[in-house]
Chains A and B, each alone.
Chain A
Amino acid sequence: MISVIEVYNAVRDLANKDQKGFVSPEMFNSLLPAVQSKIFGKIYDAALQGKALRRSGADLGGEDSLYLKAKNFISEYISSGILQQVNIPSIYDDSGVYKKPENLNRIISVFNDESVNVDLIYNSEKISRILNSNLSAPTDDFPIGLVSSEIEIFPRPGSDVYINYYRNPTSRYETAGARFAAGDIDYRRQPSYSAQTSGSLVIPNPFDCRAFDLPAEFRDEVVKEICMMIGVSLRDNVLMSYGASQQ
């Protein structure tokens, strides 16, 4: 988790120290979903870099491995649930159509309540060939799922179907409240900064603030990314080049 209050203060001090009012909370908030999405993509990039290092023999071993570090970051986003069946007419017989979870980023696995894994196919061109194959045709022991805008499973499952997936990042509670602890995930909101003004003073409201749903290691990246965006907005070359050069 990255505190949105700390990030706001850092950005304000970098961009706005002598020109109070340029970075308003509203403007700051409008940038946060895009920044979070970009940094989330960088976690996958880190995994790719770790893989390249490992292949070249340059990655550190054991718990110091960069690849494992990136995988550890990604594991924060693993979620699971029961797939909801939908009544959509299918051109194929004997299949069940299921709705993807709303916050789905990438599917890890789909399985039934007997832990039989559903083999996932992303290529709709191949599914009819698979269904007609006398070798690869899906069976109850080897079901196949076609992933498109929905997930269509062959043959039609007789029981609940579960999914493990990477969710999209949302936000985390900045501070503990009556029903949640600091750092708990708020699935409904994106990160946002909230403040109350008292005269000339601007006081953050931590109960209404939502922190970034990103690993703390990426705090510096978040600040720089926001600085670069604000630099573009303010036509401030110094701020823009600071953000761009440091990445």
Chain B
Amino acid sequence: MGVSAQEDLYKEATQTYGATLQRLARAYESDPDKRRDLLQDIHLALWLSLEKYEARCSLRTWVYRVAHNTATSHVIRQHRTNSRELFSLEQIEAMPDGVNPARDAGDRMAIERLFELIHQLKPLERDVMLLYLEDLDAATIAEITGISAVHVRVQIHRIKVILTRRFHKGGHS
């Protein structure tokens, strides 16, 4: 692929998905400095990847995969050294009310509570949740993540239950 075509694709990708990438970086890294580095890494990976872009999948799927996979690498790197435990949706759903830190933050903004929940999740479940919040359908989420559409729907159902329960009891209206 020529450099100008790569540039055009990159511009198109950042114009269309720039805000999504920022939200994703925020969902994967709470520290502002590290988040900036992560966002740079995502843009760099996207730029390098577009050199080999083939129209076998849509630009959207391509961008989401690069972004989510780069962010996953970041999480694994961080998780190797820090002691913070990550949970699956099933584990979060089963957590008793008393040990749920998000529940106690009743007066905080809804978005902050959403981030608190997202930062607790394991990478794959985090991917599904973010893609759901970006309003992608189950089939597209399945294509990006490699998880079957049936299982994606199961995950989305869990996500909805968890969100509804937490937001309702957390005082959001």
Is B one of A's binding partners? no
Instruction: List residues of chain A with CB under 8 Å of any chain B CB.
Output: none
Instruction: List residues of chain B with CB under 8 Å of any chain A CB.
Output: none
